[in-house]
Amino acid sequence: MARVRIAAVQMVSVPEVAPNLEAARRLVAQAAHEGAQLVALPEYFCVLGRHETDKLKLRERDGAGPIQDALAEMAQRHRLWLVGGTVPIACADPARVRSACLVYDSAGRRVARYDKMHLFTFHAGAERYDETRTIEPGDAPITLESPFGRLGLSVCYDLRFPELYRRCGNVDLWFVPSAFTAVTGAAHWETLLRARAIENLCYVVAPAQGGLHANGRRTHGHSMVVDPWGEVLAERAEGEGVVLAEVDAGRLAEVRQSLPALDNRRLT
């Protein structure tokens, strides 16, 4: 990795897969046209249903299905690496799915799968969420080597658990595809993203859902890219669009050399 242009795609996904894939194709094409070599889609990019169980009807077998095929095709068509937000992948429990973040290389080959480990539970007045009802948690963090450095995969609520990030050691770019609620996002989103970047001396790429959805849910948006010093390099508040920034290996090395906190750790 020297200097690489990356993109975090922000969406306002709907309950039907077809228009979401159409929007993803259009936004990935825009990112490619603007020079992005590495593009990330948000959590639930392919469906944000009216009911939590809607995702169960759209589950795909691991490695095969229209959503996975679309991701591979986008990566291959534009010759870029693509972080595919989350895809509902079948598991042994017929009442739940795995929420899988899939990564494809520039040839359209899948090179990594991370299953969301921490499942969102939130109760505040009439607003209630419990992902454990429809999602089976993953059981292991995932990192991978790429032409852009070492990549780490996490999803949304994982952001609140710093031990996941620290456990993976030195990672150059962490991805956090998300669908933060308006309430929790306004309170904590930017603070948590900047904290993960600062404490791990890494870039953080956070594509998000951002707007009012058909089910009445409002997501926070504010997709952003944060540098290892905690500076927000680029951000989009609401609505669909592409957030572009440059990741610089020289900047990463400079920060890690001047503040070698990863080398100074006493506890692991």
Using one digit for the tens of pLDDT, what is the confidence trace for 116-127?
A: 999 988 877 777
Residue 75 has φ and ψ, to the nearest 5°, of -60, -45
* Entry pTM: 0.96
Using CA atoms, how far residue 41 sits from 12, 75, 84, 155, 241, in Å, is 11, 12, 5, 11, 11
Res 120: pLDDT: 87
Model confidence band, residue 1 (pLDDT cutoffs 50, 70, 90): low
pLDDT tens-digit readout, 132-174: 999 999 999 999 999 999 999 999 999 999 999 999 999 999 9
Active-site residue among 116, 131, 136, 202?
116
**Tens of pLDDT, residues 4-47:** 999 999 999 999 999 999 999 999 999 999 999 999 999 999 99
pLDDT the model gives residue 123:
78
Condensed to tens digits (0 to 9), the pLDDT of residues 98-113 reads 999 999 999 999 999 9
- Does the annotation mark 202 as catalytic? no
Q: Which of 43, 136, 190, 240 is catalytic?
A: 43
- In CATH, the architecture of 3-258 is 4-Layer Sandwich (3.60)
Beta-carbon contacts of 198 under 8 Å, excluding residues fewer than 6 positions away, are: 228, 229, 230
pLDDT tens per residue across span 163-222: 999 999 999 999 999 999 999 999 999 999 999 999 999 999 999 999 999 989 999 999
Could you tell me if 181 and 129 are in contact, meaning their C-beta atoms sit under 8 angstroms apart? Answer: yes
Considering the candidates 46, 101, 156, 202, report the single residue annotated as catalytic.
Answer: 156
- Residue 227, CA distances (Å) to 174, 196, 209, 245 in order: 11, 10, 21, 10
- Residues 28 and 263: their CA atoms lie apart, in Å, by 37
Q: Which pLDDT score is estimated for 60?
A: 98
Query: By C-alpha distance, which of 49, 68, 52 is closest to 109?
Result: 68
Annotated catalytic, 145? no
Kindly give, in sequence order, each residue whose CB lies less than 8 Å from that of residue 243, ignoring residues fewer than 6 positions away. 7, 8, 9, 10, 207, 223, 224, 225, 234, 235, 236
Residue 116 annotated to the active site: yes
